[in-house]
């Protein structure tokens, strides 16, 4: 029997709504900026596999969800900071496009897979989630000011790439 993999369906939420959910998830999961993200994956019932990308999947990372359990696939050729954002992005797919779709939108999704590439709405929503999860807005604003708007230092504080910190500052209207 072949598995019927479903692709993520956009929630149609705006950045503020997705960010609010990510902030709630940070609090509920007890995550603090800069902490390792791998324990959060395990806490949610998932696992991370490095370097074992499945045929026809993105070489930037992916997630496969089967009946509430999930596997995040991370390539070997990316940096730890990039991997951290990718893991948060894939957690975003799990929360937004699996948990929320099933609970709030009364879907019956059992098998979902998402690949980290493209610019469709589910990918944008997962990016918003990842940014807000790793760099919560209130903390980011405070740290950004305290560190003199130095994106390299801010990135180091949150353990994200300078590019991710820069995009976050822009999205919050700080730069």
- The mean predicted confidence, pLDDT, of the chain is 91
Q: Is 81 helix (H, G, I), strand (E, B) or coil?
A: helix
Q: Where are the domains of the chain?
A: 15-103+111-134
Tens digits of per-residue pLDDT, 149-163? 999 999 999 999 999
Tens digits of per-residue pLDDT, 114-172? 876 667 899 999 999 999 999 999 999 999 999 999 999 999 999 999 999 999 999 99
Q: Which CATH number is correct for 15-103+111-134, 1.10.10.2910, 3.30.2270.10, 3.40.30.10, 3.40.50.720?
A: 1.10.10.2910
Tens digits of per-residue pLDDT, 9-42? 999 999 999 999 999 999 999 999 999 999 999 9
Q: What b/e readout covers 6-38, taking b as 16+ CB neighbours within 10 angstroms?
A: bebeebebeeeebbebbbebbeeeebebbeebe
Q: How many CB atoms lie within 10 A of CB 100?
A: 17
Burial of 51 (C-beta count, 10 Å sphere; 0-12/13-18/19+):
exposed
């Amino acid at each position: 029997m072949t598995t019927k993999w479903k692709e993520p369906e956009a929630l149609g939420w705006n950045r503020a709504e997705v960010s609010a959910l990510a902030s709630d998830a940070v609090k509920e999961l007890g995550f603090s900026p800069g902490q390792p993200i791998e324990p959060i994956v395990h806490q949610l019932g998932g696992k991370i596999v490095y370097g074992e990308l499945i045929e026809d999947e993105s070489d930037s990372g992916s997630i496969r969800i089967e009946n509430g359990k999930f596997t995040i696939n991370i390539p070997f050729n990316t940096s730890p900071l990039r991997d951290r954002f990718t893991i948060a992005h894939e957690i975003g797919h799990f929360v937004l496009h699996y948990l929320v779709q099933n609970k709030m939108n009364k879907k019956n999704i059992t098998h979902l897979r998402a690949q980290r590439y493209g610019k469709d709405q589910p990918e944008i929503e997962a990016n918003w989630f990842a940014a807000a999860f790793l760099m919560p807005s209130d903390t980011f604003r405070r740290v950004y000011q305290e560190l003199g708007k130095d994106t390299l230092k801010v990135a180091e504080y949150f353990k994200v790439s300078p590019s991710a910190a820069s995009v976050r500052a822009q999205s919050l209207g700080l730069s």
